[in-house]
Amino acid sequence: MSLQVGYYALSLFGGALVAGAVAVIAWKRAMTSVGRSLAFLMAAVFTWSLAAACEAAVPATATKVLFSKIEYLGIATVPVLMFLFALRFLRSGVSLGKWRTAALWVIPIMTLLLAATNEKHHLIWSGFRSLGGPREQLLIYEHGSFFWIHTGYSYILLFATTVFLLLAFFRFKGIHRRQALTLLLAFPLPWIGNALYLSGLAGAEKGYDHT
């Protein structure tokens, strides 16, 4: 399998390495549920970024679609993991309880299953086309109906995550307030890019994202 590694793929590989390193460090130092939540979150980001990098680097369309399905291991889980991490950060490791936590995972699990079997129903991707480039052959994805359900759910969780972090910023002092501010600045960035892509204002011409 030949690779065509351009700047976009290299940036994703770099992001995956950073996320993987943070996940390992957080897991080794995890003494609370907050630390474990961060480790799981960064592991999901690592999976998402690494699969996206591989998708951008491989030339065959079928292989790209396969890596896109692997990406959904991160795409579908990151919003819930962000929400749980922010809640536990704000309230010192509080748990939602078994049933409420399970309910949070219903749509992500459905999204994963539908992405894995998309050829049978096209509810995640209704189609795609190739966008050639000097180093990468990127794909533009057309979205199916369940994709928008997943997207709406993800942005609801992102909004709740932002509210939790804002509350933490105003409630905490010292290092915890600085941590809250760092998280507030970092967490929304990929979602802003995703929103621009979905609105057609950026990224669609380049094929940089299909989430």
For residue 149, the model assigns a pLDDT of 95
- Walk along the chain (211 residues) and give the pLDDT tens digit of each residue: 455 556 667 777 887 888 888 888 888 876 677 778 888 999 998 998 899 888 888 888 888 889 999 999 999 999 999 999 988 888 766 677 889 999 999 999 999 999 999 999 999 998 877 765 544 566 778 889 999 999 999 999 989 998 998 888 888 888 878 888 888 777 766 666 566 556 554 443 333 344 4
For 121, half-sphere exposure in the C-beta direction (CA atoms, 13 angstrom radius) is 12
For residue 16, the model assigns a pLDDT of 82
List pLDDT tens digits, range 96-153: 788 999 999 999 999 999 999 999 999 999 887 776 554 456 677 888 999 999 999 9
For residue 137, the model assigns a pLDDT of 64
- Cα–Cα–Cα angle for 61, 63, 65, nearest 5°? 70
CA distance 33 to 180: 17
CA distance 82 to 161: 7
How far lies 106's CA from each of 7, 51, 109, 113, 157, in Å?
A: 36, 23, 5, 11, 13
For residue 202, the model assigns a pLDDT of 42
**CB within 8 Å of 67: residues ≥ 6 apart:** 51, 52, 54, 55, 58
CA distance 38 to 84: 9
Which of the 8 DSSP states describes residue 130? E
